[in-house]
Amino acid sequence: MSVAQAVAQPVAVSRRLAIRFRPSRVVLNVVLILVALFWMVPTISLLVISFRPEGLYGVSGWWTVFTEPSQLTLQNYQSLLGTGLGTGGILDSLITTALITVPATALVTVIASLAAYSLVFGKWRGRTAVFLVIVGLLVVPVQVALIPVAQLYHAFGNLTGFNPYGTLPGVVIFHVAFGLPFGIFLMRNFYTGIPKDLLEAGRIDGAGEWTLFRRVVLPLGVPAAASLAIFQFIWVWNDLLVGLVFLGGNAHHTLTIFLYSQTRTLAASYWVIATGAMISIIVPLAIFFAFQRYFVRGVLAGAVK
């Protein structure tokens, strides 16, 4: 058989197979495309509404933009962002959210890594018991701690003059506490995959615990730490409840509180909500797309949360 024949024949066979399987394939693809479109509708609607003049909301549906693209305008963003800083506008909320999220994420990542190191490579007794307690804490709802922690903050304020209630540190402290069980769980699971021999070799070479942590375990654990950090970042960034409770009467609002408070004002205007929501999702969305793989890993590891 010549090469040409050998090449020609497979085409014939595979075409026959293709014909056999085509109808179900087409149906499947069409169904999934419809599902995907359906899933994108809310995001697209938010995007479009945020770019339509406020006066058109309630007069014509956002979808009319597809026939009249001239509706699009930047004016919502201009008016929302134009209030500037220090006015209680959305820019302040953006900064407040970042000021809560960044430290809460960094602290959880570092403290959880340290604790996981201790649980995996430490030699003290009762490590398993401590780990099981942490597994137990994984699913404890934040609600159980809200009131006592608020009381604790007030008591601390009476004692020292600094009351964390209503302050950013107060919010961060709470977030860190409830991010730790998951963080320790995730990091421990990763660290258990590091061969103990590697640490033994380091110990024989004379490295102390801190060196081993800094030089061996921490670099090896970067993928897990990245997953944890991204997961925690998005979690805290999107939180409403903890901010609502612990910022109390603070004038600084997180983005979610900003949005929520819009629904509570009598003159609730949807253009503010839509534009604000768009601004609030830009950061997590960018992180989601930039680090999707790490995020998915975090989600997979955190299936118990």
Instruction: Tell me: does residue 284 bind other proteins (CB under 8 A).
Output: yes
Instruction: Tell me: does residue 102 bind other proteins (CB under 8 A).
Output: no
Q: Which is nearer to other proteins, 89 or 217 (CB)?
A: 217
DSSP secondary structure string, 90-157?
HHHHHHHHHHHHHHHHHHHHHHHHHHHHHHHH---TTHHHHHHHHHHHTT--THHHHHHHHHHHHHHH
CB of 83 to other proteins, least distance (A): 20
Report residue 102 as tokens. 């960044």
- CA-CA-CA-CA dihedral for 147, 148, 152, 158, to nearest 10: 60
Instruction: Tell me: does residue 114 bind other proteins (CB under 8 A).
Output: yes
Q: Measuring CA to CA, which residue among 243, 211, 222 is closest to residue 109? A: 222
**From CA 105, how far away is CA 234, in angstroms rounded?**
9
CB of 42 to other proteins, least distance (A): 5
Instruction: Tell me: does residue 90 bind other proteins (CB under 8 A).
Output: no
Looking at 90, 94, 119, 225, which residue binds other proteins (CB under 8 A)? 119
Instruction: Tell me: does residue 191 bind other proteins (CB under 8 A).
Output: no
CB of 69 to other proteins, least distance (A): 18
Q: Site residues for other proteins, window 4-43 (CB under 8 A)?
A: 6-7, 9-10, 13-14, 16-17, 20, 25, 28-29, 31-32, 35-36, 39-43
Q: Site residues for other proteins, window 64-83 (CB under 8 A)?
A: none
Size of the site for other proteins (CB under 8 A): 121
Instruction: Tell me: does residue 53 bind other proteins (CB under 8 A).
Output: no
Q: Which is nearer to other proteins, 86 or 195 (CB)?
A: 195
CB of 245 to other proteins, least distance (A): 5
Looking at 51, 94, 109, 121, which residue binds other proteins (CB under 8 A)? 121
The one-letter code for the residue type at 88 is G
Stretch that binds other proteins, among 78-86, 87-95, 220-228, 275-283 (CB under 8 A): 275-283
| 67-76: Cβ within 8 A, 24+ apart | 72/48, 76/50, 76/51, 76/52, 76/271, 76/272, 76/274, 76/275
Instruction: Tell me: does residue 60 bind other proteins (CB under 8 A).
Output: yes
Q: Specify whether the backbone of 254 is left (phi greater than 0), alpha (psi in -120 to 50) or beta.
A: beta
CB count, 10 Å around CB of 254? 31
Q: Which is nearer to other proteins, 86 or 237 (CB)?
A: 237
Instruction: Tell me: does residue 277 bind other proteins (CB under 8 A).
Output: yes
Report residue 106 as tokens. 């960094």
Instruction: Tell me: does residue 98 bind other proteins (CB under 8 A).
Output: no
- Which residues neighbour 167 within 8 Å (Cβ) at sequence distance 6 or greater? 250
Site string for other proteins, 220-259 (x = CB under 8 A): --------------x--xxxxx--xx---------xx--x
**From CA 49, how far away is CA 62, in angstroms rounded?**
6
**From CA 280, how far away is CA 189, in angstroms rounded?**
32
CB count, 10 Å around CB of 183? 29
Q: Which is nearer to other proteins, 12 or 251 (CB)?
A: 12
CB of 40 to other proteins, least distance (A): 6
Q: Which is nearer to other proteins, 92 or 115 (CB)?
A: 115
